[in-house]
Amino acid sequence: MKKVKIGLLGATGYTGIELLKMLENHPHMEVVFVTSEKHAGKTLASFFPNLTGRPFGELRFIPASEAIQIEVDGVFSCLPHQTAAENLLPFIQKGGVKIVDLSADFRIRDAEIYKKYYHEHPNPELLSQAVYGLVEWEKNIKDFNIVGNPGCYPTSILLPLLPLVKAGLIETTGIIADSKSGVSGAGKSPSDATHYVEVNENFSAYKVADEHRHLSEINEQLSITAKLPVNILFTPHLVPMTRGILSTIYAKPKAGVTRDQILACLQNQYAGQACVQVLEKDFPKTAWVANTNRCMFGFKITEDGQTLVIVSVIDNLIKGASGQGLQNMNILFGLEQNCGVI
């Protein structure tokens, strides 16, 4: 079988390297370019010394302007939002290129919401051509050419919540997601906030309750599914560790809803899905999914029957970014969904 030719825009960050590590062993894809404006001309191994002696180590970064000349079947963008849409536009216009964008630029259907949380969208007309690629939830990914790859926090929150909302098992008001993330979610650029001494032996909240941009996609997806406006509270926290997200989610079961109904709903949704595990008894820990593409969740209804508590974990760089991105690319090319995904 001829291999799918893959390009990577913006390959010097954490999600880029994770993608490359998976693509190195992918039986049906080959990387034909990696871009970096700043490091153009250098080899990957000179930037990621851990790649020394590995197949991709000798690949060289090129600028995006050159990349557009190269024949390619699929493009991943690991660029930040706005830059992503700008750099993907030529590939979209060129046609015949399938795209998975890891930024927020194609996650939102409503340009007004995008504007509220980010800024004016550079190409609002493209939003309807893209799909929100929450792999184990969205059935129609293969019908699109542009995938907005879900954010890390939203992946951990939506996978357990969407089936329950769709089935009408929980109230859509009063939902709280109290999330905790490792530091790699903040990206590779050094800042006061990512300085080792600032993070180590420290735990903090940020963008408390109604401020974080990921609320845009969380609320849009919940609202689409509920067919009414849903607004949850979402407080992210920074954990002194490199990888992993744990979301503790509080919701109110509808009157009479039992634990068994919740369990059946979630198990039905994710039956046969290797990358989503519904635990019957345990609450998962982030280390259980580190370096894997899996989302695991456990849950309980409190003794008074008033609250459903879900604990959901993912590796923010894999299921929360590159792993889910590769699942999406597999789907776009009709490959087995989890092919080459760790």
Binding site for its own copies (CB under 8 A): 14, 49-50, 52-54, 174, 176, 178, 180, 182-184, 188, 190-192, 194-206, 208-210, 231, 233, 235, 237, 239-244, 246, 248, 250, 274, 277, 279, 282-292, 294, 296, 300, 302-304, 307, 309, 311
Q: Cβ closer to its own copies: 82 or 223?
A: 223
Location of structure tokens 């062993």: 25
Question: How far apart are the C-alpha atoms of 139 and 65, rounded to whole Å?
Answer: 34
Q: Cβ closer to its own copies: 58 or 86?
A: 58
Task: Based on the residue annotation, tell me whether 152 is a catalytic residue of this protein.
Answer: yes
Q: Cβ closer to its own copies: 13 or 148?
A: 13
Neighbour order of strands in the sheet with 146-148: 61-62, 29-35, 4-9, 74-77, 98-101, 146-148, 130-132
Stated length of the chain: 342
**What Cα–Cα distance (Å) separates residue 190 from each residue in 186, 196, 257?**
9, 10, 47
Strands 146-148 and 176-181: unpaired
Residue 98 neighbours by CB under 8 Å, 6+ apart: 73, 74, 75, 145, 146, 329, 332, 333
Q: Cβ closer to its own copies: 246 or 265?
A: 246
Q: How far is the CB of 305 from its own copies (least distance, A)?
A: 11
Question: How far apart are the C-alpha atoms of 94 and 135, rounded to whole Å?
Answer: 26
Q: How far is the CB of 129 from its own copies (least distance, A)?
A: 32
- Quote the tokens at residue 137: 């939830």
Closest by alpha carbon to 107, among 215, 213, 217, 9? Answer: 217
Terminal Cα-to-Cα distance of the chain (whole angstroms): 22
Q: How far is the CB of 36 from its own copies (least distance, A)?
A: 15
- Given the residues 78, 152, 275, 295, the one annotated as active site: 152
> Which amino acid makes up residue 319?
K
Q: How far is the CB of 137 from its own copies (least distance, A)?
A: 18
Question: How far apart are the C-alpha atoms of 106 and 129, rounded to whole Å?
Answer: 9
Q: Cβ closer to its own copies: 81 or 294?
A: 294
Q: How far is the CB of 338 from its own copies (least distance, A)?
A: 12
Residues recognised as catalytic: 152
